[in-house]
Amino acid sequence: MAQKRKVYLIIGGAGFIGSHLCDRIIQDGQKVVCVDNLITGSRNNIKHLLKNKNFSFFKQDVSEKFTITGPIDYVLHFASPASPVDYLKYPIETLKVGSFGTYNALELAKEKKARFFLASTSEVYGDPLVHPQVESYWGNVNPIGIRSVYDESKRFAEAITMAYQREHKVETRIARIFNTYGPRMQTLDGRVVPNFIYQLLHKKPLTVYGTGKQTRSFCYVDDLVEGIVRLLHSNIKTPVNLGNPLEFTILELAQIIQKVARTKCRIVKKPLPKDDPKQRKPNISLAKTKLKWKPAVNVKQGLSQAIAWFEQQM
């Protein structure tokens, strides 16, 4: 007798990471209900799935109360503007989806007796005073700075998720996602990888903010999705870092991306944005030990695939 397909509600499923997660769940033979209000997501990210009988899409702002008919086994909350360009453009929407949106998603998970998964972020660590960042670190966040609309909405989302776990016994999982890149990122996303690729392909100078000595680590989206799936089906009820611990300065990344693209560009330096973290690197010991997960795609492989995708969009 064939095993019954599980139903995954993926909120923010037309976004960058959400759409790749939709692909993975469908490939695994399960059903996906994708919900997105499309302010930063795109139908283009999921158009190849629209005729699949195991996939359905609803345009919906989850900051407003919503219902889904039928059984739901998993509720995965990936809805939120995630790049500084977007959350500074949509500050109130960002706060609402992190608060009201998370509350509504948790209420639905409680009603359906579904497992709830929160896509949190390394931004909960703020401009960290601990390096690399471990899950036990409480963070160094400016609660009223321009980036706080994103940072604090995610910190609230974690708090209410843990409250539902403790008070209502909802099965919850939380991923703190570090910088991720790959196909389907918005062309003018504003984050460093798509910025550099866009500038290279349009033969413009590469924009580096500050000295370029600030560091980041970059995880390819396929690796991240594997970590998400493993965490979802694990028994870990506290936050888990998911990201690539290989660390680069922004200037090093500029050099690597020029080599991969086989294009030379000059570098232009601009002032560092307010509250921009000086370093960001995950400690993934918990994910390695408990999930048997670590990134497999090296940065040159990942960048070559991302560049190829951006070229197709031109």
- Pick from 124, 94, 73, 98: which is nearest to 240 by CA? 124
CB contact at 8 A, 96 and 28: no
* Residue 150 annotated in active site: yes
Please write down the long-range contacts of 190-193, taking CB distance under 8 Å and 24 or more positions apart: 190/83, 190/84, 190/85, 190/86, 191/83, 191/84, 192/216, 192/250, 192/253, 193/218, 193/253, 193/257, 193/303, 193/306
Closest to 297 measured CA to CA, from 206, 192, 220, 198: 220
**Catalytically annotated residue among 8, 90, 125, 150:** 150
Q: Which residues, 6+ apart, have CB-to-CB distance to 78 below 8 Å?
A: 10, 11, 12, 13, 15, 17, 18, 21, 119
Residue positions annotated with a catalytic role: 150
